[in-house]
Amino acid sequence: MRVLTVNAGSSSLKLAVLAGDEALAAEELEVSGDGLDEDRLAEALRGMDGIDAVGHRVVHGGHHLTGPVRVDARIREELGALVDLAPLHQPKSLRALDAVGRALPGVPAVACFDTAFFAGLPAGAATYALPREWRERYGLRRFGFHGLSHAWASSRAAQLAGGRAGSRVVVAHLGSGCSLSAVVDGRAVDTTMGFTPLEGLVMGTRSGTVDPGLLLWLEEHEGIPPREVADSLEHRSGLLGLCGTADMREVLRRAAGRDADAALALDTWVHRVVTGVGAMAAAAGGLDVLVFTGGVGERAAPVRRLVAARLEFLGVRVDDDANDLADGGTDADIGAGDARVLVVRAREDVEIARQVRQVLGG
């Protein structure tokens, strides 16, 4: 079965055709503020022969869509009803789903959810300590995100580590968006993102976790409207808010040149990752394997070195030579301590294709 995987991002649409785990064709289309150019999409798809099925990355599956599902009119309607839970991401996924459906009529489509990997979190990890009536009326819980990446990276890590050696895995998905997960025997038991992708680590433009009382203070005492607070937390915080750039490469360059703002940004970012890994290891009952994935995790050897240096108490150490050589876009073992330390190339496309075959029986 040849599966077309469709990954809609904020400014691009990634397409790939996979037979097994092998990519036969791939293309990335720019997406402007006006939306997706369907003529350009149709042209790209004409160059991708023999598509048997389509798998779409969809950010939010809500409470009921907790695994991959074939898209029909009812499912499409349900996905549309979830836009309020992910207003920045869900509409992009749905525009891509509709556009590809028009370009490939009759080809079965499967929605694969970023939240699904975390749907089975233990109750203690999924629950907010909020009034019962809020939790029940509004469905408030920790959903978790980046699940397709965490699912692939944890399964690949277990494969590379071999058997029981990889049973307690912490995945660090580090890019413009950042999250951690704790995975025991293939099952997620905790993660850093919550009801929205704002919770958790410091990110490129997103704040990560802040005291909710601070936000209430800004609204009540300074009169900042909720919409402005939300926009600032999503688009003007994180590394950008700390030092004026969301690009980790620039942060590293400036920090090495003793730029005080960049040094603070890097230290804050690393601190949150390190303390987060400690929390995930506690949730997993220990640490056998630490996995770095995502754009920063895969391609920033200095970042991996800084994080590992503060995790030696968990048996994490990196071989400096192996770490420096691991920025080439291939999976690598860079560990030199008791815990395995792996760099795993993000392959959401492979995870999506596998889930499509699972649903369609291919």
Instruction: Find, among 295, 321, 297, the residue nearest to 307 by Cα.
Output: 297
Percentage of the chain modeled with pLDDT above 90: 90
Percentage of the chain modeled with pLDDT above 70: 98
- Report residue 9's pLDDT band, with 50, 70 and 90 as the boundaries: confident
Look at residue 35 and tell me whether its pLDDT is greater than 80.
no
| Mean pLDDT taken over the chain | 95
Residue keyed to tokens 């099952």: 187
Residues 77-128 pLDDT 10s:
999 999 988 888 899 999 999 999 999 999 999 999 999 999 999 999 999 9
> In this predicted structure, what is the pLDDT of residue 346?
94
Q: Identify the three-state secondary structure at position 286.
A: coil
Which residues contact residue 313 at a Cβ distance below 8 angstroms, ignoring those fewer than 6 apart? none
Which residues contact residue 167 at a Cβ distance below 8 angstroms, ignoring those fewer than 6 apart? 158, 184, 185, 288
- Report residue 164's pLDDT band, with 50, 70 and 90 as the boundaries: low
Burial of 54: CB neighbours in 10 Å, binned 0-12, 13-18, 19+: buried
Q: Distance from CA of residue 102 to its chain's centroid?
A: 28
Q: Which CB contacts under 8 angstroms, 24+ apart, belong to 183-189?
A: 183/150, 183/154, 183/284, 184/284, 184/285, 186/154, 186/155, 186/158, 187/120, 188/117, 188/118, 188/120, 188/121, 188/144, 188/147, 188/150, 188/154, 189/121, 189/122, 189/125, 189/283, 189/284
Q: Quote the CA–CA distance of 314 and 96 in Å, as a whole number.
A: 42
Q: 21, 98, 114, 211: which is the annotated catalytic residue?
A: 114
> In this predicted structure, what is the pLDDT of residue 329?
76
> In this predicted structure, what is the pLDDT of residue 165?
59
- Report residue 338's pLDDT band, with 50, 70 and 90 as the boundaries: very high
| Structure token digits, residue 169 | 């895995």
Q: What is the DSSP letter of 357?
A: H
Confidence (pTM): 0.95
Residues 193-217 pLDDT 10s:
999 999 999 999 999 999 999 999 9
- The most confident of 9-23, 36-50, 96-110, by mean pLDDT: 96-110
Position with higher pLDDT, 311 vs 33: 311
> In this predicted structure, what is the pLDDT of residue 34?
63
- Active site (annotated) includes residue 98: no
Query: In the predicted model, what is the mean pLDDT of residues 180-184?
Result: 97
- Report residue 362's pLDDT band, with 50, 70 and 90 as the boundaries: low
Q: Quote the CA–CA distance of 278 and 23 in Å, as a whole number.
A: 36
Residues 228-287 pLDDT 10s:
999 999 999 999 999 999 999 999 999 999 999 999 999 999 999 999 999 999 999 999
| Structure token digits, residue 114 | 């970023």
Instruction: Find, among 148, 106, 142, the residue nearest to 9 by Cα.
Output: 148
Q: What are the angstrom distances between the C-alpha of 39 and each of 26, 42, 56, 260? A: 17, 5, 19, 47
Query: In the predicted model, what is the mean pLDDT of residues 124-146?
Result: 97
Look at residue 149 and tell me whether its pLDDT is greater than 80.
yes
